[in-house]
Amino acid sequence: MNIGSYHKTGTHLIKRIFNNYKETDRDQVFNFYWNYYLSQSSGKSVIVIRHPMEIIMSGVRYHQVSSEEWLHKPWQSPMGNPSGQSYSEIINGLSMDKKIIFEMENTAIFTIRRMLYDFTYRENTLFFQLEELYDESNVRPLSKRIAKFSGLDENYLEKAIREAMSKKYNATTKVFAHTYKRHFKPVHYELFHKLFPSVTLEVLGYLE
């Protein structure tokens, strides 16, 4: 079975969940796909999504501190980059308002559009929201939903999810729910609705 995610939707967490599952059921095989590589997968898939505006905020935080190689090379921006600075240099030199705009226009735009496209057109796939993992009361129902779709054992799944969320790093992700509400201003909402279809949040199951 395929397990998928997008940039900043919980890649490490979903891998941990299903690797935990394999510790109980070692015969189970999971194929992990990320972002555009999801298009290379076929068959049943479970994919984690995230509130689009939170993808933007998570990207802002991550891209300022990450050591990923591409962040430290001259950024080939779709908006142009005459200075030749790296993505990291550019975003670290901006005010928070401008960081959000830069992130939205340069990386999040591709992630969110891809996520929306897959959610709309991809078949034989169960999508669930990263935010579902933040609420303890959702774990059991989510385990049942994934199990019914995939044929996996719901008790093993629940155990795997709870173990993954008990890790310090994953537990702290809960504090990042809805941070966009603290930082988004009218200019950001306006740009968001300019870059993405008006039904984006509704289709993905997120309402403003």
Q: What percent of the chain has pLDDT over 90?
A: 76
In this prediction the pTM is: 0.91
**Residue 208: predicted pLDDT:** 60
* Strand ranges across the sheet with 45-49: 31-34, 2-5, 45-49, 125-129
Question: Residue 48 contacts by C-beta under 8 Å, 6 or more apart in sequence?
Answer: 4, 5, 9, 10, 13, 14, 127, 128, 129, 130
Dig out the tokens for 176 from the structure: 């990042």
Q: What is the 3-state secondary structure (H, E, C) of 173-196?
A: HHHHCCCHHHHCCHHHHHHHHHHC
- Give the C-alpha separation, 162 to 166, whole Å: 6
Q: What percent of the chain has pLDDT over 70?
A: 94
- Give the C-alpha separation, 144 to 147, whole Å: 5
Q: Which residues pair with 33 in a beta bridge?
A: 4
Which range among 14-18, 95-99, 178-182, 204-208 shows the weakest confidence by mean pLDDT? 204-208
**Residue 176: predicted pLDDT:** 61
Q: Which amino acid is at 13?
A: L
Residue 146 contacts residue 135 (beta carbons within 8 Å): no
Dig out the tokens for 33 from the structure: 């796909």
**Residue 20: predicted pLDDT:** 95
> Tens digit of pLDDT for each residue in 61-94?
999 999 999 999 999 887 778 788 999 999 999 9
- Give the C-alpha separation, 183 to 96, whole Å: 8
DSSP 104: I
Q: How confident is the model at residue 135 (pLDDT cuts 50, 70, 90)?
A: confident
Is the per-residue pLDDT at 172 higher than 50?
A: no
What residue spans of 82-199 are helical by DSSP H? 87-92, 96-103, 109-121, 139-150, 154-166, 168-172, 180-183, 186-195
Is the per-residue pLDDT at 15 higher than 50?
A: yes
Is the per-residue pLDDT at 17 higher than 90?
A: yes
- Give the C-alpha separation, 112 to 53, whole Å: 9
**Residue 79: predicted pLDDT:** 74
